[in-house]
Amino acid sequence: MSANDYYRTLGIQPTASAKEIKNAYRELALKYHPDRNQDNPEAVNRMKAVNEAYAVLSNPQKRQEYDAIRTRFGSAAHDQFRKTYSEQDIFAGSDIFRVFEELTRLHGFRHYEEVFKEFYGPGYRSFEVKRPGMFFRGFVFTGGRHPRQGRGRGQLGGPGLGRIGRRLVEKLIGAEIPQPGQDVEAAIRLSADEARRGGPYAYYYRQQNKKLVVKIPPNVREGQRIRLAGMGENGRGGASPGDLYLRVAIQKPLLAAVKSKFKRWFKG
């Protein structure tokens, strides 16, 4: 398995519990924190790798997707995962800043905001909004985004925000918060023979008025979803679009035969 494997980075087994993941991260964050490694530049890279691994594995949805990619691609899993997830996507909704706050209180380290600015440069921005009856704190990555094919839409690096909270944060940081587009689901109807053979299939996507060629995997099953990356709704703030998921519906043999006959009549 690759040295970039998230489980190896945290020194845990793929069967590790959520508690074991957090405990491993706390130990490594303490070990590689830049305030304890001022004469060791390599510690910064190690700390960034540990941060990324924890942000992914501590999130059940991201972990599940990473595990699926890991099973399929093995040592190339990390590279495949990073093709679909940017820093913003990875750290969205993470409690990593709370762990950093614990280290600050216990060991007198710098605030997480200073550390993240040092790690990730001007593309990283933190925010804190205090209003009567509301309090938001978190961070966003406004640069260096990768195209994504992914999940977890519209979250920030802190608590989830509604529309009003998002506008307040955008005014506070002076920039539009990137928000990936929503995924879209539609049906693709195949004959039993088309589902069994697989291969290219001409599909008309009405929402975008586009003709697409969909690669159908052989022996596709009823209800299985085929993902077309980047064909969903457009994102905002420069974020990537969502995905189009085609849910397979396999026509009954009789219905397929009748439909085929109607096509022949129409052509005739």
Q: Would you say 95 and 22 are in contact if contact means Cβ atoms under 8 Å apart?
A: no
Tell me which residue of 226, 209, 205, 206 sits closest to 217, measured CA to CA: 226
Q: Where in the chain is the domain with CATH 2.60.260.20?
A: 184-267
Q: Would you say 103 and 30 are in contact if contact means Cβ atoms under 8 Å apart?
A: yes
Q: State the Cα–Cα distance between residues 218 and 193, nearest whole angstrom.
A: 10
Among 11-15, 55-59, 133-137, 156-160, where is mean pLDDT lowest?
A: 156-160
Contacts within 8 Å (CB) and 24+ apart, 209-218: 214/188, 214/246, 216/190
Q: Would you say 243 and 232 are in contact if contact means Cβ atoms under 8 Å apart?
A: yes
Among 21-35, 93-107, 124-138, 193-207, where is mean pLDDT lowest?
A: 124-138
Place 152 in a pLDDT band, splitting at 50, 70 and 90.
very low
What is the pTM (predicted TM-score) of this model?
Answer: 0.54
pLDDT given at position 64: 93
Cα diameter, the chain: 82
Q: Which CATH architecture has domain 184-267?
A: Sandwich (2.60)
CB neighbour class for 224 (10 Å; exposed up to 12, middle 13-18, buried from 19): middle
Please state which of the four CATH numbers 3.40.50.2020, 2.130.10.10, 3.90.1280.10, 1.10.287.110 is assigned to the domain occupying 6-173: 1.10.287.110
**Degrees (nearest 5) of the Cα angle 182, 186, 191?**
155
Averaged pLDDT of the chain: 77
Backbone angles phi, psi at 239, to 5 degrees: -75, 160
Helix then strand count (H, E) for the chain reads 11, 7
Q: Where in the chain is the domain with CATH 1.10.287.110?
A: 6-173
Statement: residue 16 has pLDDT above 70: yes
Q: State the Cα–Cα distance between residues 138 and 243, nearest whole angstrom.
A: 26
Residue range 181-234, pLDDT digits in tens: 788 888 999 988 899 999 999 898 887 888 888 999 999 888 898 988 888 888
pLDDT given at position 9: 95
Statement: residue 101 has pLDDT above 60: yes
pLDDT given at position 206: 83
As a whole-number percent, the residues of the chain with pLDDT over 70 amount to: 68
Residue range 102-112, pLDDT digits in tens: 888 888 887 76
Q: Would you say 249 and 190 are in contact if contact means Cβ atoms under 8 Å apart?
A: yes
pLDDT given at position 149: 38
Residue range 47-93, pLDDT digits in tens: 889 999 999 999 999 999 999 999 988 888 998 888 878 777 788 77
Backbone angles phi, psi at 41, to 5 degrees: -60, -30
